[in-house]
Structure 1
Amino acid sequence: MSARLHRFGRWCAALALAALAGSAAALDYIETPSLQAQVDAGALPPVAMRLPATPRVIDLPAMGRELGRHGGTVRTLLGGQKDIRMMTLYGYARLVAFDPDLNLVPDLLESFTVDEGRVFTLHLRAGHRWSDGQPFTAEDFRYAWEDVLNNPELSAVGLPNELVVNGHPPRFEVLDPLTVRYSWDAPNPDFLPALAAAQPLQIAIPAHYLGQFHRRYRDVDELKELARSLRLRNWVSLHDRMSRWYRPENPDLPTLGPWINTTAPPAERFVFVRNPYYHRVDSAGRQLPYIDSFVLDMSTTSLIPVKAGANAADLQARYLRFEDYPFLKEAEQRHPFDVRLWERGQGSTIAILPNLNVQDDVWRALLQDVRVRRALSLGINRHEINQAVYFGLARESADTVLPESPLFRPAYASAWTHHDPAQANALLDAAGLDRRDVDGIRLLPDGRRAEMTIETAGESTEETDVLELVVDHWHALGLKLFVRAASRDVFRSRMIGGQTLLGVWSGLDNGIPTRDMSPEELVPTTEQQLHWPQWGMYYENGGRKGVAPTLPAAQELVDRLRDWCAATTPEQREAAWHAILQIYSDQVFTIGIVNGSPQPVLVSRRLHNVPREAVYNFNPGAFFGVYMPDTFWFTEEGR
């Protein structure tokens, strides 16, 4: 393990202990200065009355971090209005949450119990309130269950997969105003990780607010008129608009997170302010978050590195890539920020995705031939790419779990990744591509030249730099590769529709899983998996749409996922994971190139408690979220 990761591991261990430590019983709470005037005017209760009876205490000194001070505004840059979902990630307030050691701990919940892996009892914190001051109780779970998740108009596609086991929903019970229970007849290992995910399963929503937009609780004619005034089709569209929580566009929607949106879209700047009823405190009695507000400025994504380098952000990682690092380090000399290098947590920083469901019959048969996929992988000189693009700082690897994962095995990372043009050529010959034209380009079985177009979302010159080298590597195998860029939406649509032969995306979103996290990302389970979108659609829709997997190895992945879902012991779940990892690596369903590549993170020198080394990942981790931005603080008053 590198020195950086060793230090990160010590930091994680300290955080894991501190997150579980501390008692609010002996704390004298300290009022937040920016809220004092509202408290004095009677517009807000004092801090002791705003907090739950047992808030979550974060013991920062036990983590090796500093107790902070209230105040300040963090500026960050985003690529468009949809990106305000980053605040749901950065806030990372969840019913249960991952700590940095990837253990599940209570967060919004006071506690939870699990019996036989199938009965989950959730205990809420007495006195916990939504951001508007209304109580957070079992009624919010009941409303989500009865009035939304089981309402065919609001949930037309049915229950989320994480709530269905062997085709059956859970039994939901309200045991008392602060206790709810979900029970299945068989184990549901997906349930708790889904609650802790970066984009979590939402089983509690503010009933007191959303009920006014539900026809069960309000006159239908009134709802029709309200929907019409907002240019919405009906009460369903109205409820959907008002309840959108992951992308928090409705400033009136109560939240349990650390910051609240105050800006209605459309806007070029969104301002999030502190939640006065947030449930966490530090060990000195200060209610978190320390930071008063976040300002999110919208920008063209290509300009974000330039603006960040001109000191337009206090905390920035999104839309920064390693290619921006030299420029940002140079700008660091002129402005009061540091540029740190975290490690990206994806299975592969850049992965090539052979579309196994491409419409072209000849190419589909070739790409479904494992010899072709192995040959494409063997033909790539990963060492050259690592040196030329990443200055040797990345790891040359297949698209698989990272060394930081307890499931890692070196054989998964090295499978079919050594540069061996001779073996690659032999595999292509054996797959029926043994004829060439006068230019040395291989001929397909139908006589066409082996010309392939690989499409990208066109969002990074890093991808372009990598692909320029891959073009040369594959040309040496007699394969002609063309690169075409499209917008992200067009690119994804073409991959799903089978119009694109090869795509470029990142590898596994979660490169650091444990045996208790679902391995579904390595199995055809959703159309969003662009290397087998039709197979994923088939699984996702219960066979009503898409196409059943035609490769035995892909079907075996589905069977091993079922083994994991049915497992009753940690050992059984781990065995299922390794079976899936072995198949996925050996079959080269996606072609990884490097992982562990550096992620630039720009941090104001006035901003404290941001780790110097860390893993930057969407799920698990929620980018900054797992490091608790509610504990970041400024050394002086912010802007």
Structure 2
Amino acid sequence: MIKLCASSAVSARRLFGGLMMGMGLVGTSLLPTGAQAEVPYFEDAVAKGTLPPMLQRLPEHPNVIDFGAEGKTVGKYGGEFVTIMGRSKDIRMAVVYGYARLVGYDQDLNLQPDILEALDVNEEGNVFTLHLRKGHKWSDGAPFTAEDFRYYWEDIVNNDELFPVGPPRFLFVGDEPASFEVIDEYTVRYSWSRPNPFFLTELAATRPPFIYRPAHYLKQFHEKYRDAAELDALVQERGLRSWAVLHTDMDRPYKLSNIDRPSLEPWLITTEEPSDRFVFVRNPYYHRVDPEGNQLPYIDRMIFNISNSKLVPAKVGAGEVDLQSRILSLKDYTFLKQSEAKQNYQVRLWDVGAGAYAALYPNLTCSDPVWRDVIRDVRFRRALSLGINRTEINRVLFFGLAQPTNNTVLPKSPLFKPEYRENFIKFDVKAANALLDEMGLDKRDGDGIRLLPDGRPMEIIVETTGENPEHDDMLELIGDSWRKIGVKMYIKGLQREVLRNRAYSGETIMSIFNGVDNGLATANSVPSEFVPVQQDSLQWPKWGQYYQTNGEAGEVPDMSAARELLDLYNKWQSSNEKGRKEAWQGILDINSENMFSIGLIGNVPQPVVVDKDLRNVPEKGIHSWEPGAFFGMYRPDTFWWDR
């Protein structure tokens, strides 16, 4: 078994290729030499004997962050940083920003061990051996061991009352669940008879799967480990239906609704809902250190203030935050720059990782039979794309700083081809009209609007969530240009859940939403956003539902291109890296030619407001949900105050 050092510059592509050849990952594991001073925040507790000294709180081999590779400087302890969220449920962004993962992405999108000390994968890619850091502890000081993985596997996801549908899908290969083994106190193994290409990317996800749980804490709420009468009394006291509901309420590692639940995150929540100000304090047992052996994070407290989203740009401009990207958009840039001179902050423009800032989604599985036939004709989708003046959208709404694009992978992706971005996006009214005429849609009413085959005017209702005003502004511009090709648009604003439910049921003809999340895909990324395997893909929700429910709901994909995509998806799942890249390339080729979604504009820079005294925040970064977790892969635990 060959092991790759986490500090070596191994790309995500090479990493997975290596894994398929029996390589593994080893984290940086030796504590730097020299005397490490106690964290000032904990000095009193250590002096009183209520908390062990720092070296006793760290794992034997903590995760030593390579500041040289990340362009960081060793910092100083202390202070707090403030950011704003639009609603209290967004406290979960603390898990996103903290980005403590078993395996996570670094700034170059390499996968590296983090909570894990090392990871071994066999040649076939179907056996994963996870090595924990000896001495790593939960935030309450209890040992973090293989028991926490066993508890999750045996007592949570394979308990019918807690998980009636069984373990999450990434822990299956086809219909085969993982075989889970505890090797020793600090080693666990997951294996399947065939390769599982989903496993590592899921562990590194922005919303992590948490395949471990604080067993020592949660057992008190589990019927297997607690006296029945005592557990029933707890259930009755809280007015809940069952012990399973109680256990779930006391867990919720992503939603952070239980402030007493132990954690491995850099900061721990201390504020209960409801509140308009949430305070997080540093974790005394956190597993990362800087190159000099100082325990991270540097900053003692993280504050999430809750505010009406409409007020956030003004509050940022008034200097009420230390770090902010959430809720800000490019339309706020001019105002924020104007306020920059009066406040102690800088406005930086980061690249984004989404395939497109916005895209139109013609619903290929809509219920209206006439519209369904029209939408499924690729000439119609191409004509709609050619009838959009993306240059005008860029100039009017984005100061010319964005990029006309399809909804596809970005140039930074190793899978990128120029035609993926450029196919059918040039504004060409003549070509668009010719395509529609060729389809036989050449009859028009007195206002010049084309007629559908059943005689109805070609009036497209585009549904929007109303969450992004720029989407509505884009639709207004598109509506003007579509009139030139004989298509009339109406805009219908809905709540997000209502829009999704209408799309799922086939009522929606077309919608506008964000582009694909992962524009930075590699051969080893899951291509599910480009294949009809998810119900929430608005271009083919019923096909996605059919796949997700194993045929119990939805509709069988009945277009040849859709079937080809599913065949390639199956090839991707069962191949080595070369085969996965070939499958990905085929999937992207089919999407490019068929325009299943119609990208509008991309590379819209993300304003990031940073206090001038806050260090180790990149001048230029990638603002991406997946992969990257927005600030997460830049490790906010390494940010520090130079005051």
Equivalent of 1:555 in 547, 553, 563: 563
> Which one-letter code corresponds to 1:603 in the other structure?
V
- 1:409-461: per-residue Cα shift (whole Å, max 9, x none)? 11111122122222211222233322110100011111111111112111222
Aligned to 1:524: 532
Q: CA RMSD in A?
A: 1.7
Q: Which residue of 1 aligns with 2:176?
A: 168
Percent identical:
50
Query: Given the superposition, is the C-alpha separation of residues 447 and 220 from structure 1 closer, same or farther in structure 2, using an over 3 Å criterion?
Result: farther
Query: Following the alignment from structure 2 to structure 1, what is the Cα–Cα distance between the partners of residues 583 and 236?
Result: 52
Equivalent in 285, 292, 306 of residue 298 of structure 1: 306
Map 1:148-297 → 2, pairs under 5 A: 148-297=156-305
Instruction: Give secondary structure in 2 for the equivalent of 1:482.
Output: strand
Question: 1:425 aligns to what?
Answer: 433
Task: Name the counterpart of 2:31.
Answer: 24
Instruction: Check if 1:310 corresponds to 2:311.
Output: no
Deviations 1:380-435 (A, max 9, x none): 11122112221221121110000111111111111221222222112222333221
Amino acid at match of 1:466: M
The alpha-carbon deviation at position 479 of structure 1 amounts to 0.6
- Contact kept, 8 Å, 2:28 with 2:117, in 1: the verdict is no
Match of 2:592 in 1: 585
Instruction: For 1:476, give the aligned amino acid.
Output: K
The alignment status of 1:489 with 2:497, answered yes or no, reads yes
State the alpha-carbon separation in 2 of the partners of residues 24 and 613 from structure 1: 30
Offset, 1:629 = 0.5
Match of 1:108 in 2: 115
Question: In structure 1, what is the equivalent of residue 365 of structure 2?
Answer: 357
SS of alignment partner, residue 40 of structure 1: helix
For the pair 1:375 / 2:401, whether they are aligned, the reply is no
Q: Match for residue 507 of structure 1? A: 515
The match for 1:340 among 348, 351, 361 is: 348
- Asked if 1 retains the 8 angstrom alpha-carbon contact of 2:27 and 2:117, the reply is no
- In 1, Cα distance between the equivalents of 2:539 and 2:89? 25
TM-score (norm 1): 0.95
Residue 328 of structure 1 and its aligned partner are, at CA, apart by: 0.8
| Residue aligned with 2:485, SS | coil
Provide, for residues 303-322 of structure 1, a one-character-per-residue CA deviation record: whole Å limited to 9, x for no partner.
21121111121111011011
- Please point out which of 478, 481, 486 is paired with 1:473: 481
256-265 or 498-507, larger mean C-alpha shift = 498-507
Q: Which residue of 2 aligns with 1:88?
A: 95
Letter in 2 for 1:578: Q
What is the CA-CA distance between 1:120 and the residue it aligns to?
0.3
Deviates most, 365-374 or 333-342? 365-374
Cα distance per residue 1:332-366 (max 9 Å; x no partner):
12111111100111000011111222222221222
| Equivalent position SS for 1:181 | strand
User: For the residues of structure 1 that align with 2:437 and 2:229, how far apart are their CA atoms?
Assistant: 70
Secondary structure class of the residue paired with 1:516: coil
- Unmatched tracts of structure 2, length 5 or more: 1-8, 16-25
CA deviation after TM superposition for structure 1 residue 22, in Å? 7.4
Report the CA distance between 1:252 and its aligned residue: 0.9
The structural deviation recorded for 1:62 is 4.7
Is 1:571 matched with 2:578? yes
- Structure 1 regions of 5+ residues with no counterpart? 1-9
Task: Return the letter of the residue paired with 1:227.
Answer: V
Count of residue pairs brought into register by the alignment: 621
1: distance between equivalents of 2:237 and 2:368?
48
CA spacing shift, 1:395–1:563, aligned 2, 3 Å: same
Write the letter of the residue equivalent to 2:116.
L
Q: Is the 8 A contact 1:22 1:58 kept in 2?
A: no
Deviation of 1:249 (Å): 1.5
Note the C-alpha offset of 1:61: 4.1
Q: CA deviation at 1:375?
A: 1.1
Amino acid at match of 1:242: M
Q: Does 1:606 align with 2:616?
A: no
Is the contact made by 1:250 and 1:264 (CA closer than 8 Å) also made in structure 2? Answer: yes
The CA deviation at 1:556 is 1.4
Does structure 1 residue 394 correspond to structure 2 residue 410? no
Runs (4 or more) in structure 1 with deviation over 3 Å come to 19-23
Return the offset for 1:25: 5.0
Residue equivalent to 1:5: none
Residue aligning to 2:442: 434
Please give the per-residue CA displacement for 1:41-99, whole angstroms capped at 9, x wherever unaligned.
11110000000000000132453321111111111111112211111110000001112
Does structure 1 residue 131 correspond to structure 2 residue 157? no
2: CA distance between counterparts of 1:514 and 1:601?
26
Query: For residues 172-225 of structure 1, what are the alpha-carbon distances to aligned partners after superposition, in whole Å with 9 as ceiling and x for unaligned?
Result: 100000000011100011101110010122211111111111111113343333
Moved more, 234-243 or 424-433: 424-433
Q: Secondary structure at the match of 2:609?
A: strand
For 1:274 and 1:530, the matched residues in 2 are separated by: 41
